[in-house]
Copies of this chain bind each other. A is one copy, B any other.
Amino acid sequence: MANLIEPKVLKGFRDFLPDREAARLAIVRRLEGVFRGFGFAPIDTPVLEYAEVLLGKGGGETDKQVYRFTDHGGRDVAMRYDLTVPFARFMAAHLGELALPFKRWHAAKVWRGENTQRGRYREFMQVDFDTVGTDSASADLEILLLIRQSFLALGLGGVKVHYAHRGVFNAFLARLGLEASSVEVLRTIDKARKIGPEKTREMLAEAAGAQNADRILAYAGIEGSAARTRAKLAEAAGADTPGVKRLVEIGSALDDLDETGTFVLDPSITRGLDYYTGIVFETFLERLPAIGSVCSGGRYDDLASLYTSQRLPGVGASIGLDRLMAAMEDLGEAGGATAGPAVLVLLLEEGLLADYHRIAAGFRDAGIPAEVYPEPRKLAAQFAYAEKRGIPLAIIRGSDERARGVVNLKDLRSRESFEGLSLEEATARASALLR
């Protein structure tokens, strides 16, 4: 068979087999439930867009990673590389049709032709949620509460959401006369966890001088309470700075609402991107802090300035689903999803086909996934199939049982058998065994 084509996938791309895909769907479904609970609406945008729309008129560093080509009609097109740019384009295109403030979530694949070392993929899924069209503290607060609720719903235990305010940091740097080097300072602080305190101080000293380095490090520290950290920031940036007022507003509401200490005012959170202008945050799993932030984001001044002159301030966050799935696998949490059904109806006699399918339908009606083994093979083969798919229960019925109106139920995990049950008894027993 020299003519066979090798069934390989591209580097950085993956098949999802049933267990992993079921786990991924279960995560998205749970998040979807939380989003719906908070009044966030789903949207979708095309995978392919005009390259100019996705990349703007310039050509940045990201551009090199974008899958871009000329289509049949000679159009310069590209596959989306994030969910933010298409969302900005979407808002500009549909402003007249949407109620502002607009709250959306979007879970979808994006593509980047990056280096696949370090466990990065070229096709991966992002989950984004944003509130646009308002500058309000309530929207900031809601995003933070939504993040907490999302991770609770995923069964991953507690999270710590570290937050800060970019405007406050900028005001502080301006007071030090460091506007010019502020991006460098912010990026250094952003990397501090990775590079360690020594290297951080060294880089800050280089960018801002030794004395300022100490001031910046003092600014970036977490004090004994959020109130004391807020007082320090007010001192450093000026109590009248709008960002300081915003932190007081959000912080006092969180003090009131957060019984579990989820939210940590942490002035070292800066996020790398220029994009952010207000609160910024990162989320760490209490049981797996080492994997880094699983949900990050912040407030921005204007979402869609490339496409519309209407200013659209907003606040949003993004969950990296791949990192999250890796974390769930580490924690032994598959999200409760298995790809197999709960009951396998064995096929003993082909003449009883309708009978077997009727029994399977009866289990389904009771909310128990069930299937009929498709071929009249030896029992050993049918049991081996059940085991390979992780199906816990089997129903066995030949002509004899049929004549008596009963079935036999076998629990394949414990090898326990329950014989001569009516269909109602079998359904009830199966429910009990699956509980």
A binding-site residues for B, Cβ under 8 Å? 1, 3-11, 13-18, 21-22, 24-25, 29, 32, 36-39, 41-50, 52-53, 56-57, 64-65, 67, 69-73, 75, 77, 79, 89-90, 92-94, 97-101, 103-104, 109, 111, 113, 123, 131, 134, 136-139, 141-142, 145, 149, 249, 252-254, 256-257, 304, 306-309, 339-341, 344, 347, 350, 353-358, 360-361, 364, 369-375, 385, 388-389, 391
- Of the candidates B7, B9, B77, B344, which one forms a contact with A10 in the assembled complex, judged by CB atoms under 8 Å apart? B77
- Of the candidates B10, B94, B100, B101, which one forms a contact with A49 in the assembled complex, judged by CB atoms under 8 Å apart? B10
Residues from chain B with Cβ under 8 Å of A385 in the complex: 99-101
Q: Is the CB of A67 within 8 A of B71?
A: yes
Among residues of B, the one whose C-beta sits closest to the C-beta of A388 is B99
Residues from chain B with Cβ under 8 Å of A137 in the complex: 350, 353
- Of the candidates B89, B136, B141, B354, which one forms a contact with A253 in the assembled complex, judged by CB atoms under 8 Å apart? B354
Supposing A45-B15, A48-B13 touch, asked if A8 and B93 sit within 8 A by C-beta, the answer is: yes
Residues from chain B with Cβ under 8 Å of A4 in the complex: 306-309
- Of the candidates B38, B50, B344, which one forms a contact with A8 in the assembled complex, judged by CB atoms under 8 Å apart? B50
A261 to chain B, nearest CB (A): 16
Among residues of B, the one whose C-beta sits closest to the C-beta of A309 is B1
Residues from chain B with Cβ under 8 Å of A358 in the complex: 256-257
- Give me 26 A-to-B residue pairs in the complex whose CB atoms sit less than 8 angstroms apart, sorted by A's number: A4-B308, A5-B56, A5-B307, A7-B90, A7-B304, A10-B46, A10-B48, A10-B49, A10-B75, A18-B41, A21-B42, A25-B42, A38-B369, A47-B47, A47-B111, A48-B123, A64-B72, A67-B69, A99-B389, A101-B375, A131-B374, A136-B374, A137-B350, A138-B350, A249-B353, A252-B354
Q: Is the CB of B92 within 8 A of A7?
A: yes
Q: Is the CB of B364 within 8 A of A38?
A: yes
Residues from chain B with Cβ under 8 Å of A136 in the complex: 374-375
Taken together, the copies of this chain in the complex come to: 2
Residues from chain B with Cβ under 8 Å of A93 in the complex: 7-9, 15
User: A77 CA to B347 CA in the complex, in Å?
Assistant: 44
User: A23 CA to B375 CA in the complex, in Å?
Assistant: 38
User: A42 CA to B72 CA in the complex, in Å?
Assistant: 33
Residues from chain B with Cβ under 8 Å of A47 in the complex: 47, 79, 109, 111, 123
Q: Is the CB of B36 within 8 A of A350?
A: no
Residues from chain B with Cβ under 8 Å of A8 in the complex: 50, 53, 93
Q: Is the CB of B375 within 8 A of A72?
A: no
Supposing A257-B358, A339-B41 touch, asked if A5 and B347 sit within 8 A by C-beta, the answer is: no
Q: Is the CB of B46 within 8 A of A5?
A: no
Residues from chain B with Cβ under 8 Å of A38 in the complex: 341, 360, 364, 369-371
Q: Is the CB of B15 within 8 A of A90?
A: yes
A146 to chain B, nearest CB (A): 10
Among A22, A43, A111: residue with most chain B CB under 10 A? A43
Q: Is the CB of B56 within 8 A of A44?
A: no
Among residues of B, the one whose C-beta sits closest to the C-beta of A391 is B39
A301 to chain B, nearest CB (A): 16
Q: Is the CB of B307 within 8 A of A46?
A: no
A7-B89, A15-B45 given; name 13 further pairs at CB < 8 Å.
A9-B50, A11-B73, A15-B93, A16-B42, A16-B45, A17-B43, A17-B97, A39-B369, A47-B111, A141-B353, A142-B374, A249-B353, A253-B357
- Of the candidates B16, B46, B350, which one forms a contact with A14 in the assembled complex, judged by CB atoms under 8 Å apart? B46
Residues from chain B with Cβ under 8 Å of A111 in the complex: 47-48
User: A47 CA to B98 CA in the complex, in Å?
Assistant: 30
User: A56 CA to B70 CA in the complex, in Å?
Assistant: 22
Residues from chain B with Cβ under 8 Å of A131 in the complex: 374
Q: Is the CB of B18 within 8 A of A101?
A: no
Q: Is the CB of A7 within 8 A of B307?
A: yes
Q: Is the CB of A364 within 8 A of B29?
A: no
Residues from chain B with Cβ under 8 Å of A72 in the complex: 64-65, 113
